[in-house]
């Protein structure tokens, strides 16, 4: 599995077409919806999400924030093409995460710790460190494609 590289801040997931609007720690001119908030960076807004999952409104659409603490994060697709965002709190160094995920049954998702509705207009999504601008390709963003109905956390 490929793991998303980040500097420790919250990760943000949004449509690839909207990534250029995300300005990270730069103040003003970012992805904000409200001019009164424009004095706050997009990164600050992401840091204000109190839980592991949250959304923030953008000028166009919204961003899913994978917040709380810096966790190893990846995207995995099962045999039915369901997309699962994987975040590891702790796992032994010898553990094969792909094998673990292949053996997870649907019952594992019946009572999630957190859930959220995240609507997009496009199935092309990107996950990256919220501290960096979305159009900074040197930061190796993690791009994936999913259907609106089949994303899990």
- Cα distances from 8 to residues 40, 43, 149, in angstroms, run 19, 12, 29
pTM: 0.80
pLDDT of the residue at 11 = 92
In whole angstroms, what is the distance from residue 16 CA to residue 92 CA?
33
In 3D space, the residue among 90, 149, 128 whose CA is nearest the CA of residue 14 turns out to be: 128
Residues 6+ apart with CB under 8 A from 4: 11, 73, 74, 75, 127, 128, 142
Of 44-48, 78-82, 120-124, highest mean pLDDT = 44-48
Q: Mean pLDDT across the stretch 37-56?
A: 84
pLDDT of the residue at 146 = 61
pLDDT of the residue at 98 = 85
**In the structure, what pLDDT confidence band is assigned to residue 38 with cuts at 50, 70 and 90?**
low
Say which DSSP state 53 is in. Answer: E
Q: Are 47 and 68 a contacting pair, CB within 8 Å? A: no
Q: Which residue has the higher pLDDT, 79 or 41?
A: 41
In whole angstroms, what is the distance from residue 80 CA to residue 6 CA?
29
Task: State percent of the chain over pLDDT 90.
Answer: 7
pLDDT of the residue at 64 = 92
**In the structure, what pLDDT confidence band is assigned to residue 12 with cuts at 50, 70 and 90?**
very high
Q: Which residue has the tokens 């609007």?
A: 21
**In the structure, what pLDDT confidence band is assigned to residue 149 with cuts at 50, 70 and 90?**
very low
Q: Which residue has the higher pLDDT, 147 or 49?
A: 49
Q: Mean pLDDT across the stretch 65-71?
A: 82
Dihedral-angle region of residue 46 (phi above 0 means left; psi in -120 to 50 means alpha; beta otherwise): alpha
């Amino acid at each position: 599995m490929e793991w998303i590289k980040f500097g420790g801040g919250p990760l943000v997931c949004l449509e690839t077409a909207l990534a250029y609007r995300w300005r990270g720690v730069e103040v003003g001119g970012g992805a904000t919806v409200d001019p009164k908030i424009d004095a706050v960076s997009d990164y600050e807004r992401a840091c204000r999400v109190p839980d592991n999952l949250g959304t923030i409104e953008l000028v166009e659409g919204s961003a899913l924030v994978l917040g709380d603490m810096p966790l190893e994060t990846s995207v995995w697709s099962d045999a039915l093409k369901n997309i699962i965002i994987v975040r590891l709190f702790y796992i032994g160094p010898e553990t094969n995460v792909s094998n673990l995920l292949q053996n997870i049954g649907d019952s594992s998702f019946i009572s999630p710790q957190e859930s959220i509705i995240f609507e997009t207009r496009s199935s092309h999504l990107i996950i990256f460190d919220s501290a960096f601008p979305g159009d900074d390709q040197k930061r190796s963003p993690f791009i994936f494609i999913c259907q609106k109905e089949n994303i899990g956390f």
